[in-house]
Amino acid sequence: MRQKIVAGNWKMNTTLQEAQKLTAEVLGMAGEANSNIKIILCPPFPYLQTVKNQLGGSGIDVGAQNCNEHQSGAYTGEVSAQMLKSMEIPYVIIGHSERRQYFHEDGKLLAQKVDGALANNLKPIFCCGEPLDIREAGEHEELVKSQVEESLFHLNAEAMKKIVIAYEPVWAIGTGKTATTAQAQEMHEVIRKHLASKFGNDTANQIPILYGGSVKPDNAKELFACPDVDGGLVGGASLKSRDFVDIIKSA
- Based on the residue annotation, tell me whether 96 is a catalytic residue of this protein: yes
Task: Please pick, among 96, 140, 188, 194, the residue that the annotation labels catalytic.
Answer: 96
> How do strand 164-167 and strand 123-128 relate by DSSP bridges?
parallel
227 CA to centre of own chain:
18
For 167-197, letters b (16+ CB in 10 Å) and e give: bbbbbbbeeeebbebebbbbbbebbbebbee
- Assess contact for 246 and 29: CB atoms under 8 A: no
Residue 204 burial (10 A CB sphere; 0-12, 13-18, 19+) = buried
- Assess contact for 213 and 129: CB atoms under 8 A: yes
For 58-71, letters b (16+ CB in 10 Å) and e give: eebbbbbbbbbbee
Task: Please pick, among 98, 168, 188, 194, the residue that the annotation labels catalytic.
Answer: 168
Residues 6+ apart with CB under 8 A from 116: 67, 68, 69, 70, 71, 80, 81, 82
Q: How far is CA 37 from CA 105, 123, 130, 141, 212, in A?
A: 31, 16, 27, 29, 17
Strand residues in 168-206 grouped as ranges (E) = none
- Based on the residue annotation, tell me whether 136 is a catalytic residue of this protein: no
The residues that are catalytic are 96, 168
